[in-house]
Amino acid sequence: MRIKTALPAAELGLYSLVLSGALAYAGRGLLEASQDGAHRKAFRESVRPGWEYIGRKMDVADFEWVMWFTSFRNVIVFALSGHVLFAKLCTMVAPQLRSWMYAVYGALAVMGTMGPWYMLLLLGHCVGLYVASLLGRPWLCLGLGLASLASFKTDPLISWQSGFVTGTFDLQEVLFHGGSGFTVLRCTSFALESCARPDRRYSLADLLKYNFYLPFFFFGPVMTFDRFHAQVSQAEPVRREGELWHIRAQAGLSVAAIMVVDIFFHFFYILTIPSDLKFANRLPDSALAGLAYSNLVYDWVKAAILFGVVNTVACLDHLDPPQPPKCITALYVFAETHFDRGINDWLCKYVYDHVGGEHSAVIPELAATVATFAITTLWLGPCDIVYLWSFLNCFGLNFELWVQKLAEWGPLARIEASLSVQMSRRVRALFGALNFWAIIMYNLVSLNSLEFTELVARRLLLTGFPQTTLAVLFVTYCGVQLVKERERTLALEEEQRQDKEKLE
């Protein structure tokens, strides 16, 4: 729902003051806890010496982050720099062949990293889905795609297929699952788009060009085949005015974000503290709430940096890739909650929107969410934690629709109609605050641990009731109101821009 009503400036100023003070207070508690726990025996494995000129230890609990920016940093920079260099040369000399250059360079990079047998394995999956696309049956293509995905997510097939990788190295498992999983999603998208356009038969070469585009290969994001093919097939791509400045700004922002995260981990051990429940239980309620919130913010920042770097390269290749996910701080509805916009777009196009229609009826929406989260469970890898995460988020998405339907019910609708528009916004923001913490708790289950989630829930809802519960809820309410005001301002600016274009 679009927000049309502004709140008084003094009220918004109060919300900003409360939120800033609460974040500073919680941050101070986390900083003191990190200093106190730096030398704990339980922290030795994940808190190690960091930058010498800072003189502090660093939280290295995130294996992927450490690998990306230490041992594999040079490899990543070398591979992407080579891609950019050859892409630029090809665009200057023979722009009509640039899609072939992307595919050949990507295939050689994958083969050099994972070995020729892994390449043959992926080609087998590509050919299988290509043959299915020739039959023109969407249900067969989707079914075969899900079967291929299941083969990379469940034993014994996953153990057998992982043996195709040549050699052993630190990020082998991450690259295997990323490359294999995204390959299946891309091939499935190709097959479904081929079925949707029976008058235009795509070739196996089109599929290979799509799949082996190196910047997207291992970590995404996923661009659906129709978008990628249309953009990469442009014979003489032309940049929009100011596009190069935007690309440089995006690259600079990604580098700055990497440095900020590295510095942050020297002062706040937000990933290590939750692993020591005895120590975490001694934190003040405000610091514990800040710890739970910061874990989700970090996961968003990590995704934003990854996609920011990849998208910068893709933009240099004249592509318009999926944007980074929406910041967790700006989320107060489950319908907008996702950590990978590419996968979210893929699921919405081929499953969620196809089954749910307008998403206004209860039963079709329930069927659409169950189907979507079933595939998401398969994508993440079936296990107890993933089952719980999927159930909670599926429930949250449906519960939003149920509450919306209830709010449209006669008596409640009349009550809201009797309120002023500003008061209606305040009431809705209160429900948004409750929803915000539901999003945090439901996703903390998978991003951290069930035990830590139980600790946070018990402290904020039971032992801290009512003081902590109401204080956290009020601070969150202030944040939701500021997010709503930002959304209102952006919507108003967009309307003014469109009106200006019409006049011109």
Q: Compute the mean pLDDT over every residue in the chain, rounded to the nearest whole number.
A: 89
List pLDDT tens digits, range 221-273.
Answer: 999 999 999 999 887 777 888 888 999 999 999 999 999 998 899 999 999 99
Contact assessment for residue 190 and residue 225, using Cβ atoms and an 8 Å cutoff: yes
Task: Indicate whether 2 pLDDT > 60.
Answer: no
Distance CA 215, CA 253 (A): 18
Residue 155 is which amino acid? D
Task: Indicate whether 164 pLDDT > 90.
Answer: no
Least confident stretch, 12-16, 50-54, 210-214: 50-54
Residue 385 is which amino acid? I
Residue of higher predicted confidence among 299 and 503: 299
138's tokens: 């969407």
129: which residues sit within 8 A by CB, 6+ positions away?
141, 144, 145, 148, 184, 187, 188, 190, 191, 207
Confidence of residue 404 (pLDDT cuts 50, 70, 90): confident
Distance CA 223, CA 348 (A): 13
Task: Indicate whether 378 pLDDT > 90.
Answer: yes
Contact assessment for residue 425 and residue 482, using Cβ atoms and an 8 Å cutoff: no
Share of the chain above pLDDT 70, in %: 98
Confidence of residue 219 (pLDDT cuts 50, 70, 90): confident
- Which residues lie across from 58 on neighbouring strands? 48
248's tokens: 């440089």
Task: Indicate whether 66 pLDDT > 90.
Answer: no
Q: Read off the DSSP letter of residue 224.
A: P
Residue 396 is which amino acid? G
Distance CA 164, CA 181 (A): 15
* Selection from 363, 369, 412 nearest residue 390 by Cα: 369
Greatest Cα-to-Cα distance within the chain, rounded to the nearest angstrom: 69
Confidence of residue 215 (pLDDT cuts 50, 70, 90): very high
List pLDDT tens digits, range 114-135.
Answer: 989 999 999 999 999 999 999 9
Rg (the chain; Cα; Å): 24
Domain coordinates in residue numbering, the chain: 9-60+251-503, 71-233
Task: Indicate whether 71 pLDDT > 70.
Answer: no
41's tokens: 């025996």
Residue of higher predicted confidence among 56 and 84: 84
* Average pLDDT of span 80-101: 88
List pLDDT tens digits, range 300-354.
Answer: 899 889 888 999 999 999 899 988 887 878 888 888 877 788 899 999 999 999 8
Model pLDDT, residue 76: 83
Task: Indicate whether 52 pLDDT > 80.
Answer: no
Measured in degrees and rounded to the nearest 5, phi and psi for residue 395 equal -65, -45
* Average pLDDT of span 129-150: 94
Model pLDDT, residue 504: 64
Distance CA 107, CA 114 (A): 10
- Virtual torsion, Cα 389, 156, 223, 228, nearest 10 deg: -170
400's tokens: 């939003």
Highest mean pLDDT among 21-25, 48-52, 338-342: 21-25
CB atoms inside a 10 Å sphere around CB 299: 20
